[in-house]
Structure 1
Amino acid sequence: MAVLYAALASLGFGVFFNLRGAKLWAAAIGGGVGWLFYMLFALQGALVQNFAASLAITVYAEIMARVQRAPVLTYLTPALIPLVPGGPIYQAMLHALNGETELFLSTGLLAMTVTGAIALGVVAASAVMR
């Protein structure tokens, strides 16, 4: 079910980004593929999970961009949305507003490292696919 929910989230953002037809559905499938890889690496920790998922999403986006003759970002951006660490970012800001410095730093660091793992996965796959 989680893969379906990730695909639906990517579908929603695809609509928000004005994707239509086959491009919209391809972006949604990319979100599902990413979440499938995220779940496959569940025992490896958050950094490996997000790196593997973003790597898979980027490879998928590069392939779909060539098949459908569209920019890679058409598929990459909506598909990465389910990986965004919204919970830790929200918690970090909440701790900052409440003056809980240690909790803010630990939660903020988690959010930044997860975001870095996502970015590293995108860069690594893009470099290989060129």
Structure 2
Amino acid sequence: MAWWHGIILSLCSTTAYCLLFNVPVRVLPAGGAVGVIGWIVFSLSPYFGASQIMATFLAAITLSLVSQILSIYMRVPSTNFSISGIIPLVPGSIAYKAMLSFVNGDNLGGITLSTQTFLLAGAIASGLIMGVSIFSLWKGIVMRNALKRTKAN
């Protein structure tokens, strides 16, 4: 039952952030789907032995690739999808617990949780960049092959 809760909450939060960022109405279902896809990848990755940081990284790569593909298909900027799609991955509760640890005087626990928060945030940023890089590389290879075919004919 927790799966459905995660999917529904990621759909709602991603769609809400799409509305907050004034994404066109025709793009809202796709924006929500990007968040759900990212959440599914994040949720399934630990079953294959990935740590939380690696699961976040893989989900961010997936979000970035799906955002790039949808941006071409729907003719809108990819940031409409990627920025709202990462919302379910943001480590807000861990950051809150880190600050709470510092306030309560548990400096070692606060440093540990802060480090985990920074690593997760870095995994999100790195995953988004990696996805854009993979897509750009793939697009360049496709364009180069298309150019070779037209020169051959």
Greater Rg, structure 1 or structure 2? Answer: 2
* TM-superposed deviation, 1:95: 1.2
- TM normalised by structure 1 equals 0.95
Task: Give the corresponding residue for 2:80.
Answer: 74
Specify every segment of 5 or more residues in structure 2 that has no aligned partner in the other structure, as ranges: 137-153
Taking the aligned partners of 1:98 and 1:111, their CA distance within structure 2 comes to 18
> Which of structure 1's runs of 4+ aligned residues deviate more than 3 A?
none
* TM-superposed deviation, 1:42: 2.0
1:3-59 CA deviation, whole Å, 9 max, x = no partner? 222111101111111123221111110000000101110231101110111111100
Task: Give the corresponding residue for 2:114.
Answer: 108
Say whether residues 1:29 and 2:6 are aligned partners. Answer: no
- TM normalised by structure 2 equals 0.81
Taking the aligned partners of 1:93 and 1:120, their CA distance within structure 2 comes to 24
Alignment of 1:40-59 (within 5 A): 40-43=44-47, 44-59=50-65
Q: Percent identity?
A: 23
1:125 to 115, 123, 131: 131
* TM-superposed deviation, 1:96: 1.6
**Once structures 1 and 2 are overlaid, which stretch shifts more, 20-29 or 54-63?**
20-29
Root-mean-square deviation over aligned CA pairs? 1.0
Specify every segment of 5 or more residues in structure 1 that has no aligned partner in the other structure, as ranges: none
